Structure 1
Amino acid sequence: MKKISLMKILVNIILFLEKIIPESIMNKIINFGIDRYINKYARLRIIGEEKLRVIKAPVIFICNHLSNADGLILNKVLKNQDVTFIMGVKLTQDPMTNLGCKIVKNIQITPSSPDKSAISNLVKHVRNGNNILIFPEGTRSRNGKMIKAKKGIYLIAKLCKVPIVPIAIYGSEKFMPIDKEGNMNNETFNNADVYVSIGDKINIPEKIKTETKEEFEERFINTLMSKISSMLPREYRGVYEEEV
């Protein structure tokens, strides 16, 4: 309970300071604070980090999703890739997660809806030579296992036509666990080993003539998600365990 209370106090202090300190300076303070928390509580292990050195923009990074800390951790791991995160607009509506939105480059999208404006913006962003990162599952897994990906990743990959780089993360669900009551403002940092694995680039698979559009879409998504699954311990693979 002490950690939760401290987190709430820190958030309230930051919200107050935002009213009197310029945004650019405030964002640097928030970024410094979050980086300190990650360094203090997360024993970060990066597997395949050398692969990042040869990646040429633009690419689409995809990753499984376990915690609100995933974006913060991946922003640190991918700091030299200048990545823009595709995130749900609701994250800006919570005081705590909105702090992360301020320091992570992002394009906001309305989940489970045909957000044509956001999709158009992110496609233009990629075509202009920028990297993006998407969590294809669309939300955090509540049980630590991979859940079925949304169809949006198929549409975005089809429109962008750039290589896809899979990333697997685990341990972040212990570093910042999901609050059982669904209150993101109660989530806090804990000591944990956090693993991030970088995979090899995936080129968009070709459609087989005998496939229907729906069959190709499903195979396409399963191909991407199985690459993530293959880099995870078995207990994290969830619905994609059989794909490995």
Structure 2
Amino acid sequence: MISPKVAKFINSMPMGIRKYISRKIVSTYLSKYAELKVSGTENIDAASKPIIFIGNHLSNADGLILSEVLGKYDVSFVAGIKLTGDPITALGMHNVKTINIKPNSADKEALTTIISNVKAGKNIFIFPEGTRSRTGSMIEGKKGVILIAKLTKATIIPVGVYGTEKLMPIDKDGNMSSENFHNAEVFVNVGKPVELLAREKGEEKHVFEERCLTHMMKSIAALLPEEYRGYYK
């Protein structure tokens, strides 16, 4: 893995050069370390556009892998803004089209951008858990995805990814610059579109939202081996 010092140097270059170099670096690492196995992309081709992709989150390699798999669908990934603050992850993010969002907050500006993008016909990818799982399996999702789905009425397609936690394990001390690539099989399973549930007569809003969220998250869990389903077994 390149050093933070080298990453900072590359990040100081003009954007065009920066993107070119970072793409070459990421492509080299993925080719060397990831044995990628993909299934279900025919579900994307058959679906109405635009699409909100929803998936589980195990590693900082998720965006790199999924951007590679979904490249021809021009997907923007909703990503925590802190990724741009680390020289290594910032370099990797040049390979991923993103909409930055402030984690653990009601980032109205980011939500407006996300909704505007989808209404304009653009595809987006959301990790409803909001952060990488430190347990190696699914953690509880957050309800923001329900609001986006309701306001845009876009097609929702679940994606299950696993093996990325072995490809690029999370650093136990939270230092993203020290996270390295390792040889691993990586699986990406794309599911069929999921319908947004209808609110039942007299159903309280929070109950409805929780039911919708569980429905969405279980559609992701169904694409994963049981040991990865965690909160949604």
Q: TM-score range by the shorter chain?
A: over 0.9
Unaligned runs of 5+ in 2: none
Q: CA deviation at 1:8?
A: 4.4
Equivalent position of 1:83 in the other structure:
75
Q: Tell me, in whole angstroms, the C-alpha distance in 1 between the residues paired with 2:192 and 2:24.
A: 31
Q: Deviations over 1:4-49 (max 9, x none)?
A: xxx243x422422443x43112202211210121111010000112
Q: Give 2:163's aligned residue.
A: 171
Report the AA paired with residue 31 of structure 2: N
Distance in 2, matches of 1:164 and 1:17, equals 37
**Separation in 2, partners of 1:153, 1:199:** 17
Letter in 1 for 2:206: E
**Structure 1: distance between partners of 2:188 and 2:10:** 33
Per the alignment, residue 4 of structure 1 pairs with none
Structure 1 length normalisation: TM-score?
Answer: 0.92
Query: Which residue in the other structure is 2:127 paired with?
Result: 135
Q: Distance in 2 between matches of 1:32 and 1:165?
A: 29
Task: Note if 1:13 corresponds to 2:6.
Answer: yes
SS in structure 1 of the partner of residue 188 of structure 2: strand
**Corresponding position: 1:155 with 2:147:** yes
With structure 2 as the length reference, what TM-score do the two structures score?
0.96
**2:50 pairs with 54, 58, 81, which one?**
58
Q: What letter is aligned with 1:205? A: L
| Equivalence for 1:218 | 210
TM-superposed CA distance for 1:53, in Å, is: 2.5
The one-letter code of the counterpart of 1:198 is: V
State the alpha-carbon separation in 2 of the partners of residues 55 and 28 from structure 1.
Answer: 32
Other-structure match for 1:205: 197
Instruction: Tell me the SS of whatever aligns to 2:158.
Output: strand
Work out which of the residue numbers 20, 24, 39 in structure 2 matches 1:47. 39
Number of the residue aligned with 2:108: 116
Which of residues 166, 178, 181 is equivalent to 1:186?
Answer: 178
- The total of aligned residue pairs comes to 233
User: Structure 1 residue 26 and structure 2 residue 18: aligned?
Assistant: yes
Indicate if the aligned counterparts of 1:96 and 1:185 stay in contact, CA closer than 8 A.
yes
Distance 1:234 1:18, change over 3 A: closer
Deviations along 1:174-210, one digit per CA (max 9) or x if unpaired, are 0000011111111000000100000001121111113
- Output aligned runs, 1:65-76, within 5 Å: 65-76=57-68
Whole-angstrom CA distance in 2 between matches of 1:18 and 1:184: 16
Structure 1 unaligned regions, length at least 5: 1-6
Identity %: 48
Moved segments of 4+, more than 4 Å: none
